[in-house]
Amino acid sequence: MTTTTESYRVKDLGLAEAGRLRIDWAEARMPVLMALRERHSEEQPLKGQRIAGCLHVTKETAVLIRTLVAAGAEVAWSGCNPLSTQDDVAAAMAAEGIPMYAWHGMNVEEFYWAIDKTLEQKPTLTLDDGADLIFRVHDRFTGLIDGILGGTEETTTGVHRLRAMAADGALKYPVLAINDAETKWDFDNVYGTGQSSLDGILRATSVLLAGKNFVVAGHGHCGRGCALRARGAGANVYVTEVKNTAALKASLEGYSVLPMDEAAAIGDIFITATGMKDVLRKRHFEAMKDGAIVCNTGHYDVELNLPELDELAVSSRQIRENCREVTLQDGRRIYVLAEGRLVNLAAAEGHPSEVMDMSFANQIQGMVFLARKGAGLGNEVHMLPEELDQEIAGIKLAALGIKIDELTPEQAAYATAYAEGT
Ligand code: ADE
């Protein structure tokens, strides 16, 4: 049952107290966001801004939303994936007065309905994870474009999509690539994805990882994180790639690199982290061992071609939560986790609060940057200024109680002394 009024739609408002507890847990692990909240509560840099957000509704996102509100913004929100919403968190946000349109298990029509609801407030800023909101504005709500100062994009896939739009001359307002900040991709994509994806696999299956053949498709930052953590758990890690340099890195990191056509017959567990469609398709499913587990941690559910798997099936049953057993004609069974949607968010809770702390600090600072400077930026995909990265990392280090060295004046001069050589 969804609880609906004009100003929000969530699964059940009665879950709000459970959601508040979860958010409290996250707040205690997000010191950078809390420091920014304190600073921005006084300065109100987002006063007068209306933000439409389309990003996974999790306990960490709730901390982000509260911080945007504390900085003076009016915020309306939808989830960016039909299976990632934490219903108790959505309820807590709605109970706090946020126009929240998100519930776990929404269908595609409801997904776009929810985005459209957040656009009713005529946003001045957009905040995306996957670029569905920005794309919707450009496709169906072009009348809003003149009133929008800019947008932010959280994820690799969304940044690719927006760069393609910009190259085509189709992007009509400036966007900040939050993903490309060092304090985002070098932490969230690697350690966040690595841990949360394994968490999703374990919650959905409870299998032993030690000794398993664990195939990671893609050795970008997210794939690297999965490979790192699977190796740490004692699995034999195999990597597939289409890019020479990434394949070489995987090899030098000690993984076996091979084509998917060969890996298909070897793997016990497969995870895709490529951003590409059909990474696992008919001929791979046909070659898999009985009991193979397949899942995806990329943004969209296109990496596993499940319609092709279902064509090979004689039967299918939901054997555990987020785990569907598909039986093929010869009796082999393949287990599909979370229907090929982001396994870390659909079957677990997404990245831990400690890494989302830095990712979302970039979102906050990105919003403040756009509120101040957005009108002067070109309609392209921009990087956040490097100083913001260093500032965010500095606040995180201080919160962790880690001290670092400072250059002496002589060393600082040496850093730019190009005439000094041998
Ligand atoms: N993406 C990955 N993990 C997430 C989380 N915990 N919250 C929001 N977005 C995420």
Ligand 1 centroid to 412 CA: how many Å? 38
| CA distances, 394 to each of 6, 190, 256, 404, 411 (Å) | 42, 20, 37, 10, 20
| Number of neighbouring beta carbons within 10 Å of residue 319 | 12
pLDDT for 249 equals 98
Listed in sequence order, the DSSP H helices in 255-352 are 260-263, 282-287, 306-312, 343-346
**2: which 2 tokens?**
């969804």
pLDDT for 422 equals 82
Ligand 1 centroid to 351 CA: how many Å? 5
How do residues 303-320 score in pLDDT, each as one tens digit? 999 999 999 999 999 999
Is the minimum distance from the CB of 396 to ligand 1 under 6 angstroms? no
Query: Is the pLDDT at 5 greater than 80, yes or no?
Result: no
pLDDT for 2 equals 57
Probe ligand 1: pick from 60, 190, 299, 343, max atoms within 8 Å of CB?
Answer: 60
Is the minimum distance from the CB of 58 to ligand 1 under 6 angstroms? yes
Is the minimum distance from the CB of 356 to ligand 1 under 6 angstroms? yes
pLDDT for 281 equals 98
Residues in a beta bridge with 296: 272, 342
Q: Which domains does the chain have, with CATH numbers?
A: 3-186+351-400 (3.40.50.1480), 193-346 (3.40.50.720)
* Mean pLDDT to the nearest integer, 223-250: 98
Is the minimum distance from the CB of 61 to ligand 1 under 6 angstroms? yes
Which DSSP symbol is given to 124? S
Is the minimum distance from the CB of 88 to ligand 1 under 6 angstroms? no
Is the minimum distance from the CB of 40 to ligand 1 under 6 angstroms? no
Is the minimum distance from the CB of 9 to ligand 1 under 6 angstroms? no
Query: Is the pLDDT at 421 greater than 90, yes or no?
Result: no
Query: Is the pLDDT at 1 greater than 60, yes or no?
Result: no
CA separation for the pair 112, 395 (Å, rounded): 37
Ligand 1 centroid to 406 CA: how many Å? 34
CB 61 within 8 A of CB 33: no
Listed in sequence order, the DSSP H helices in 233-352 are 244-252, 260-263, 282-287, 306-312, 343-346
* Mean pLDDT to the nearest integer, 266-280: 98
Probe ligand 1: pick from 89, 345, 349, 359, max atoms within 8 Å of CB?
Answer: 345
| CA distances, 250 to each of 43, 165, 236, 246 (Å) | 46, 31, 13, 6
Helix/strand/coil for 34: helix
**Which atom number of ligand 1 is nearest to the Cα of residue 352?**
6
pLDDT for 419 equals 85
Ligand 1 centroid to 352 CA: how many Å? 8
Contacts of 26 (CB under 8 A, 6+ apart): 59, 60, 62, 63, 353, 356
CA separation for the pair 240, 246 (Å, rounded): 10
What percent of the chain lies above the pLDDT cut of 70? Answer: 99
Contacts of 422 (CB under 8 A, 6+ apart): none
Ligand 1 centroid to 186 CA: how many Å? 15
Identity at 406, one-letter amino acid code: E
pLDDT band at 160 (very low <50, low <70, confident <90, very high): very high
How do residues 98-132 score in pLDDT, each as one tens digit? 999 999 999 999 999 999 999 999 999 999 999 99
How do residues 329-374 score in pLDDT, each as one tens digit? 999 999 999 999 999 999 999 999 999 999 999 999 999 999 999 7
CA separation for the pair 12, 9 (Å, rounded): 9
**Which atom number of ligand 1 is nearest to the Cα of residue 353?**
6
Ligand 1 centroid to 14 CA: how many Å? 23
Query: Is the pLDDT at 4 greater than 90, yes or no?
Result: no
How do residues 363-402 score in pLDDT, each as one tens digit? 999 999 999 997 889 999 999 999 999 999 999 999 999 9
What percent of the chain lies above the pLDDT cut of 90? Answer: 96
In the numeric block, the tokens 């690719």 are attached to 160
Strands (E), 122-257: 125-128, 150-153, 175-177, 213-217, 236-240, 256-257
CB 192 within 8 A of CB 352: yes
* Mean pLDDT to the nearest integer, 295-305: 96
| Residue whose CA lies nearest to ligand 1 atom number 10 | 350
CA separation for the pair 24, 21 (Å, rounded): 5
